Structure 1
């Protein structure tokens, strides 16, 4: 019996030594590739990106739909920001939060989201000509910015606007207008059906108005964009039900006569 016990002990020791020797040189790939890197929030800026380029070209083979237009990845100092390609009408991040990036002078690249389909999961596979825009912007720590991708077709440019957040008072909300319709001569005025009044006036192409504070409506409002000097509805946003203390941007986007991208209004929640 003692001999059997000794044999078992020797066998188990050999197994343990063998396992230890195997593990000694092995690399835990999960640990190696799943490392959290925390951004220093005391030295970061906050950005939101809005894709309102109303062109149907350039296209990429991975999205061969003639009404799609560019779908883009955004890079900040060579670091990819968005996981899913940002297409027309898209906002990153999608909720009312902002993305944090290191503060300071930053190079941004807007690149058509071509993928290498031979690799699973797919990874970016850019070729010459896929970079649609490159620019440098200085973003200050603690501040908030909106980046609007758009201009006049076929040129892709980015407008950077600082977002100053002064919190609305109780039982009110704030709203502003961002005019990124790709019709340069369209100057917008915002009319509230519920208040029966113009609340923001004469916002020209690629400009953003100041915030306007308004009381919460008892029932939903209809917000109407009018062209300067006209009382006719140009485009409108129906069923607007704001929440107290929040801040909204009513975005004008699109271009006349472009398939699937005619002028429209959309709401962005900034706070």
Structure 2
């Protein structure tokens, strides 16, 4: 029994020492009961790969087989963490949420490109967005946080909303056009930059997502043939540079991201 205790003590000491290495992979927040649930979006134009932190705890990361933080794996522009219809969980409290370059990056290691202070509560959901245009001189970009007031699960319908993360565009209306019936449904009105519409019911189906400036008939951004499934909840988030055509494959073009909340 004494020998087992000695071995356990050595193992714990080794773990502590390893976790203190300069470039060691930091543990993402430990599993907890309850807590606040968050999703993280890197939608800042030209932003580098980053990891998200809540105070000094990394809350987004890629796995490593070497024990050293990757310089190239993280949350890149246009990526979301978690990418599935789930949230990451942290204990309730007040945090400085940071977007930070990997410690092993060859350019700007450990540089914080955005910070938000926010109190998050047990049982609540939140989405943090990097947005705006990444400034290569100041190494900074915009960020904002949305309280995700999720509706009750409804097995007969879906829920959708619009989040506006396009820094150089005016307020938008979101219209969803059913590709079978051609019926148009207005689901978000006058949604300004760094804000979101409320979640709205929409029948299951396949839709074209259409953005129009509030009070105007012209289609500004379109995403075609998006499937919406009952019992699910979706955030349609606008990112990119509104001065570019939304068609084609240019990375910074205006684009409506489709991320399930659940």
Band the TM-score falls in, shorter-chain normalisation: 0.7 to 0.9
Give the structure 2 partner of residue 126 of structure 1: 109
* CA deviation map 1:132-162 (0-9, x unaligned): 1223211111111011111355351221111
Matched, 1:263 2:254: yes
Question: Does the aligned pair in 2 maintain the 1:147–1:159 contact within 8 Å?
Answer: yes
Cα distance in 2 for residues equivalent to 1:160 and 1:191: 24
* CA deviation map 1:71-130 (0-9, x unaligned): 11111120112113111111001101100111101122211235267xxxxxx9825xx2
Give the structure 2 partner of residue 53 of structure 1: 44
| Structure 1 residues 39 and 26: CA distance shift in structure 2, 3 A | closer
Give the structure 2 partner of residue 205 of structure 1: 193
| Structure 1 residues 187 and 157: CA distance shift in structure 2, 3 A | same
TM-score (norm 2): 0.75
Give the structure 2 partner of residue 190 of structure 1: 174
Cα distance in 2 for residues equivalent to 1:111 and 1:45: 21
Q: CA deviation at 1:38?
A: 4.6
Q: Which of the numbers 118, 127, 135 marks the counterpart of 1:146?
A: 127
Cα distance in 1 for residues equivalent to 2:184 and 2:195: 24
Cα distance in 2 for residues equivalent to 1:98 and 1:24: 37
Cα distance in 1 for residues equivalent to 2:93 and 2:203: 37
Give the structure 1 partner of residue 229 of structure 2: 243
User: Which structure: larger Rg?
Assistant: 1
* CA deviation map 1:189-244 (0-9, x unaligned): 11122122323221111110001112222xx2111111223322211222211111
Q: Which of the numbers 70, 79, 86 marks the counterpart of 1:97?
A: 86
**Aligned alpha-carbon RMSD (Å):** 3.0
TM-score (norm 1): 0.73
Question: Does the aligned pair in 1 maintain the 2:158–2:201 contact within 8 Å?
Answer: yes
| Structure 1 residues 206 and 152: CA distance shift in structure 2, 3 A | farther
Question: Does the aligned pair in 1 maintain the 2:28–2:58 contact within 8 Å?
Answer: no
Cα distance in 2 for residues equivalent to 1:161 and 1:25: 44
Give the unaligned 5+ runs of structure 1: 1-19, 57-68, 118-123
Cα distance in 1 for residues equivalent to 2:159 and 2:213: 22
| Structure 1 residues 115 and 231: CA distance shift in structure 2, 3 A | same
Matched, 1:41 2:25: no
* CA deviation map 1:167-209 (0-9, x unaligned): 24332100000011121x4211111221223232211111100
| Structure 1 residues 199 and 157: CA distance shift in structure 2, 3 A | same
| Structure 1 residues 88 and 31: CA distance shift in structure 2, 3 A | same
Cα distance in 2 for residues equivalent to 1:45 and 1:26: 33
Aligned length: 225
Question: Does the aligned pair in 1 maintain the 2:161–2:187 contact within 8 Å?
Answer: no
